[in-house]
Amino acid sequence: MKKLLFISIVLTILLTACNKSNDNNTNDNKPPNEDPSNSDNITENNLDDKNIFKDYNEDALKYLEKLTLEEKIGQIFLARCPLEEDLNSFLSLNPGGFILFGRDFADKTRDEIISNIEGYQSASKMPMIIGVDEEGGTVVRASSNPLLSNERFKSPQELYEIDGFDEIKKDTILKSKFLLELGINLNLAPVADVSTNDTDFINQRSFGKSAGETSEYVRTVVNAMKESGISGTLKHFPGYGNNADTHTGSAYDKRPYENFILNDFLPFGAGIESNVESILISHNVVESIDANLPASLSKITHDILRNELNFTGVIMTDDMSMGAIQELETSQAPEVIAVQAGNDMLIVTDYITSYNSLLTAVKNGEISEERINESVLKILEWKYYMGIIK
């Protein structure tokens, strides 16, 4: 049934794209709904009906009503876990969560990590999302520490070579248990990018196979994570392709839009069908979608994810400290543009500066408090869904 639904979604996108092309008598490789007011888009009420967090809406609304503007602003951020000397200043601004990197695990025992995370939670006014990139292979923040794990978690490609999807499911369950026992409730995985060329920057982190096989991989991992009780994040929408590393600078994706419909969107669609909780947007400039802004700051890109792929979970940016964002010259702060585009959470390193930029924008009227409420409500629903708010 799920596969039939997914095929229906893809056909809908294809037909919409074809109709737009026919109406214009051109094939300009543009996305189907550049106009946010397009009446063909799914209605807000229908999206509410399909909201994966809908069972927690009432409780989250009551919680939201008690928050000050300043507390709401903090919830928007998934901040890089600070050094000890900055911890109190970070926590005073009520971040939505911390994302842990290698330095937060290095040379620490299991008990030390558990104690640190429990300390963050107990010192925070609101329960926090604690996230990590534990993809397996080249990106293993926690299992790279031999005091925590006898070996690093293997890459998806290595696991598949051992025993196909059965090994991938087994590994996902083991990895999820490992993280949950440390106090981590979000793994920013799986990588849903399609890459079959081993020279691609993203290839080693990807499943390394066709869009159809990658879709099955994503479905397997998301279902196993949900079975284990940990939340996941698909990345990097709309699909990384063969683009350069955006950690160090801008990357321009020149592929036609049809490539995304027929390939890159498919694994994301599979994850959405499996009710993945969050999706991370890349900093690539995808010229066939929006030639002016990185995908993470592009409203057109977010509208496609919400209205064409019908995603109702939390949308987050890739790290806003990456080179592709830092080298931008914009009239507004990138954090402001990111929220205007439709992101619910922003991953940031310089949390205090980013917090102040967003708070100032709301007080100045660049962003309405209603827009902030939309995202904070979704974040609170997610926290109730996770069980970290009771």
Question: What is the residue-level pLDDT of the chain in tens, covering all 390 positions?
Answer: 444 444 455 544 444 444 433 333 334 456 655 443 343 343 444 556 679 999 999 999 999 999 999 999 999 999 999 999 999 999 999 999 999 999 999 999 999 999 999 999 999 999 999 999 999 999 999 999 999 999 999 999 999 999 999 999 999 999 999 999 999 999 999 999 999 999 888 999 999 999 999 999 999 999 999 999 999 999 999 998 876 566 756 688 999 999 999 999 999 999 999 999 999 999 999 999 999 999 999 999 999 999 999 999 999 999 999 888 888 788 899 999 999 999 999 999 999 999 999 999 999 999 999 999 999 999 999 999 999 999
Q: How many CB atoms lie within 10 A of CB 142?
A: 26
- Nearest C-alpha neighbor of 131 from the set 81, 85, 90, 92: 81
Torsion of CA 133, 137, 141, 146, to 10 degrees: 150
The pLDDT value recorded for residue 134 is 98
Specify the CATH number of the domain 2-386. 3.20.20.300
The pLDDT value recorded for residue 39 is 33
Residue 26: CB partners within 8 Å, gap ≥ 6?
A: none
Largest CA distance in the chain: 64
The pLDDT value recorded for residue 246 is 64
Q: Is 134 exposed, middle or buried (0-12, 13-18, 19+ CB in 10 A)?
A: buried
- Give the pairing type, strands 97-100 and 129-132: parallel
Where do the structural domains in the chain lie, given as residue ranges?
A: 2-386
Distance, CA of 221 to CA of 165 (rounded, Å): 9
Is residue 100 classed as helix, strand or coil in its secondary structure?
A: strand
Distance, CA of 258 to CA of 17 (rounded, Å): 8
Written as one string, the DSSP assignment of 43-69 is PHHHHHHH-TTGGGHHHHHHHHHT--H
Distance, CA of 56 to CA of 384 (rounded, Å): 6
Distance, CA of 322 to CA of 306 (rounded, Å): 25
The pLDDT value recorded for residue 40 is 39
- Nearest C-alpha neighbor of 20 from the set 219, 232, 304, 228: 304
